[in-house]
């Protein structure tokens, strides 16, 4: 059976002001893919967290930079690629302490990555410092009827 693939791309200035627009973009694409409201909310949150990290950490709030979000849909899954050319990082070094320890130390770092990993089926980073950083995330579409 032939797989129908649809691709959508959003390119916006690197500002947290645009996070609402990014969520709207993801919501529209995911709804079109057939995800229900609760699943759409998870996808919006995962992409918001990823883009907020790019805007704040990779680009340091430099609005002259751009955040590129590519969404790809087919019958099986919804995948998202987010690319930046900013400061890279080592994913394994991101704080993954328990909530109690974070509160005790008055730290909040690492929550976004924890959410992404829980919300999505796949989260994969490709970091090339100074060249290109790419985050790939995907979520399988659950068939609820005859599919």
For binding to other proteins (CB under 8 A), which residues are involved? 15-21, 23-24, 37-38, 41-42, 44-45, 48-49, 52, 55-56, 98-104, 106, 108, 111-112, 114-115, 118-119
Give one DSSP letter per residue of 61-73, joined into a string.
T-TTSEEEEEEEE
Closest approach, Cβ 6 to other proteins, in A, equals 22
Which CB, 76 or 108, lies closer to other proteins?
108
Query: Among 25, 14, 19, 9, which residue's Cα sits nearest to residue 86?
Result: 14
Closest approach, Cβ 125 to other proteins, in A, equals 17
Closest approach, Cβ 37 to other proteins, in A, equals 7
Query: Among 49, 131, 47, 137, which residue's Cα sits nearest to residue 88?
Result: 131
Which CB, 102 or 134, lies closer to other proteins?
102
Q: Which helix (H) or strand (E) holds 112?
A: helix 111-119
């Amino acid at each position: 059976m032939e797989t129908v693939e649809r691709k959508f791309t959003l390119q916006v200035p690197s500002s947290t002001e645009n996070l609402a627009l990014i969520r709207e973009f993801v919501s529209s694409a995911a709804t079109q893919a057939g995800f229900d409201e609760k699943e759409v909310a998870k996808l919006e949150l995962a992409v918001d967290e990823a883009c907020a990290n790019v805007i704040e950490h990779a680009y340091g709030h430099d609005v002259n930079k751009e955040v590129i979000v590519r969404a790809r849909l087919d019958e099986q899954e919804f995948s998202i690629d987010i690319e930046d050319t900013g400061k890279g990082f080592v994913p394994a070094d991101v704080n993954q302490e328990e909530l109690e320890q974070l509160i005790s130390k008055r730290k909040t770092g690492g929550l976004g990555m924890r959410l992404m990993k829980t919300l999505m089926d796949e989260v994969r980073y490709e970091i090339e410092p100074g060249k290109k950083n790419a985050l790939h995330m995907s979520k399988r579409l659950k068939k609820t009827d005859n599919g």
